[in-house]
């Protein structure tokens, strides 16, 4: 097959190459070639995300969705695509090219099939999750330890970020100075009440318990068992709701 200059230019415009390894003795480079890149690629904005979660005082529990940490928002198509951040390559210093969708069935657009977890808040409770270079904190304490720094909690749920700026010292030396920022997050209602079985399971351990959405007698509930639970659990919760 003969290649002409126009063919090469057209191919280069629609393709992208990632060097993988270099063999010096043979003067060869192993690369990952994406020949249909132009037609298959989707352009959007890369975000790090986390579900804020919900404190449920009546159950002494904190409930949250487990979601992919990184997503690409395709504004033109009103779509959100979870991606594996390890598959994202920095291009030209400011752009990311992500090659792989995130594994799992969680649909960020509707939250369908996203796993639900709950932890007991009956005693001292602090739960810290990472999203990008930030932290999202849920706590019932006045202050928390975040990576060695004692931070006052502005609200039960808040985000925490540390940024660095280059500043001149008194000796005219440049140095990086850290600045931390906390932002309160509203405790929005995302979940229905928990069944008695789910409540007992959550308070029986210090670990997070997976919960499932159920509908009993027209009443939405969170259960610790997928599908229908025991008849007694069903009847007991129904009468309690009637009361």
> What confidence category does residue 19 fall into, taking pLDDT thresholds of 50, 70 and 90?
low
Give the integer Cα–Cα distance in Å for 59 and 198: 10
* Averaged pLDDT of the chain: 82
Give the integer Cα–Cα distance in Å for 95 and 88: 10
Question: For position 11, what pLDDT does the model report?
Answer: 46
Q: What is the DSSP letter of 202?
A: H
Return the exposure string of 98-132: e unless at least 16 CB atoms fall within 10 Å of the residue's CB, then b: beeebeeebebeeeeebebbbbbbeeebebebebe
Tell whether the model's pLDDT for residue 36 goes beyond 70.
no
Give the integer Cα–Cα distance in Å for 209 and 224: 7
pLDDT, tens digit (0-9, with 9 covering 90-100), for 184-229: 999 999 999 999 999 999 999 999 999 999 988 888 999 998 875 4
CA Rg value for the chain: 25
Measured over the CA atoms of residue 219, residue 106, residue 108 and residue 60, the dihedral's sign is positive
Other CB atoms within 10 A of residue 222 CB: 23
User: Can you give the pTM of this predicted structure?
Assistant: 0.74
Burial of 147 (0-12, 13-18, 19+ CB in 10 A): exposed
C-alpha angle with apex 211: 210 to 215, nearest 5 degrees?
165
> What confidence category does residue 90 fall into, taking pLDDT thresholds of 50, 70 and 90?
confident
Sheet of 116-120, strands arranged across: 54-56, 61-65, 116-120, 209-216, 219-223
Give the integer Cα–Cα distance in Å for 198 and 210: 9
Q: Which residues pair with 165 in a beta bridge?
A: 177
Give the integer Cα–Cα distance in Å for 204 and 66: 21
Measured over the CA atoms of residue 34, residue 23, residue 95 and residue 80, the dihedral's sign is positive
Intra-chain end-to-end CA distance of the chain, in Å: 81
Tell whether the model's pLDDT for residue 94 goes beyond 80.
no
Residue entry with tokens 């659990």: 233
What is the pLDDT averaged over residues 77-97? 83
């Amino acid at each position: 097959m003969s290649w002409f200059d126009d063919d090469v230019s057209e191919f280069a415009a629609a393709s992208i190459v990632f060097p993988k390894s270099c063999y010096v003795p043979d003067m060869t480079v192993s690369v990952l070639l994406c020949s249909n890149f132009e037609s298959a690629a989707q352009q959007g904005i890369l975000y790090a995300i986390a579900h804020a979660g919900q404190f449920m005082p009546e159950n002494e529990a904190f409930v949250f969705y487990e979601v992919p940490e990184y997503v690409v928002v395709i504004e033109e198509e009103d779509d959100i695509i979870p991606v594996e951040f390890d598959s994202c390559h920095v291009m030209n210093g400011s752009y990311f090219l992500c090659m792989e969708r995130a594994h799992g069935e969680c649909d960020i657009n509707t939250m369908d099939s996203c796993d639900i977890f709950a932890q007991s808040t009956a005693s001292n409770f602090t739960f810290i999750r990472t999203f990008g270079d930030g932290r999202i904190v849920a706590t019932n304490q006045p202050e928390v330890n975040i990576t060695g720094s004692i931070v006052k909690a502005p609200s039960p749920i808040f985000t925490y970020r540390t940024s660095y700026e280059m500043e001149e010292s008194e000796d005219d030396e440049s140095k990086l100075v850290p600045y931390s920022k906390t932002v309160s997050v509203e405790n929005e209602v995302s979940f229905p009440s928990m069944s008695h079985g789910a409540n007992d399971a959550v308070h029986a351990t210090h670990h997070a318990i997976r919960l499932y959405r159920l509908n009993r007698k027209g009443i939405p509930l969170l259960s610790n068992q997928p599908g229908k639970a025991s008849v007694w659990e069903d009847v007991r919760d129904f009468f309690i709701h009637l009361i």
